[in-house]
Amino acid sequence: MIDTHCHILSEYYDNIDEEIEKIKEAGVKAIIVNGTNMKNCQEVLRLVSKYDIVYGAIGFHPTELEDVNLDCLDFIEKNISNDKIVAIGEIGLDYHYDNTDKEKQQLFFRRQLEIASKYHKPVIIHSRDAIGDTYNILKEYSVSGTLHCYSGSLEMAREFIKLGYKLGIGGIITYKNAKTIKEVVRDIDLSYILLETDSPYLTPEPFRGKPNMPSYIPLICNEIASLKGLSNEEVARVTMENANRLFDF
């Protein structure tokens, strides 16, 4: 299994060596650590060179643009050809907060999509309360990627898939009241689904409320298997192939 979206960073975990050991013990083959700002993107570069199983995504998150200017994008261009940087992420739109600067978010979203297109790299998308604008902007670029922690409708899921995107499914799928996403997972072909934890957030049941970690990825895999009436092995195998095809590890 591969955790296609997590934040195993020193701002969240005291002992990264220990986390990596637990991840290996759980049989997780690779994790993609996503940066969200300049500081933790630099840490992502250090982590990918230190640990075999760690791959990275670098990018500027829509709610962390305060100190970001257009020159910062050079950092992505400079490091995007690193063998272990497999995507631009976590990027996207987040209109959740009242003080949202939509214009700035859209500008940086577009600029990062342009870089992805130029270097033929997939993108890892964050979209919160902004699904319509996310879709309309992605439609303008011929880029592939994943909608991390997909939380939209079945109808929108089908539209994103038509654009060439996969759906990142995480711990929420294990929550009792997560009706819509369960419906999406039941209906969408397994070939469009990626496993992810978004650690340290969105911890799956039965550990909800505690910090999340990539070693919990089997809980998500098994829940998808039971929703779709497939074996755990089948879901592990197909989602791993999906991740391999998209990120070209």
Q: How far is the CB of 199 from Ni ion (least distance, A)?
A: 9
- Give yes or no for a contact between 238 and 245, defined as CB atoms under 8 angstroms apart: no
* C-alpha–C-alpha distance, residues 78 and 159, integer Å: 33
Nearer to Ni ion, 74 or 211 (CB): 211
Q: How far is the CB of 238 from Ni ion (least distance, A)?
A: 23
The two tokens of residue 3 are: 């955790």
**What's the half-sphere exposure (Cβ side, CA atoms, 13 Å) at 191?**
4
How many C-beta atoms surround the C-beta of residue 225 within 10 A? 18
- Give yes or no for a contact between 25 and 215, defined as CB atoms under 8 angstroms apart: yes
Q: How far is the CB of 99 from Ni ion (least distance, A)?
A: 21
Q: How far is the CB of 9 from Ni ion (least distance, A)?
A: 11
- Contact pattern for Ni ion over residues 174 through 213, marking x by CB under 5 A: ------------------------x---------------
Residue showing the smallest CB distance to Ni ion in the complex: 198
**What's the half-sphere exposure (Cβ side, CA atoms, 13 Å) at 24?**
10
Nearer to Ni ion, 196 or 223 (CB): 196
Q: Scan residues 45-104 and list those touching Ni ion (CB under 5 A).
A: 90
Binding site for Ni ion (CB under 5 A): 90, 198
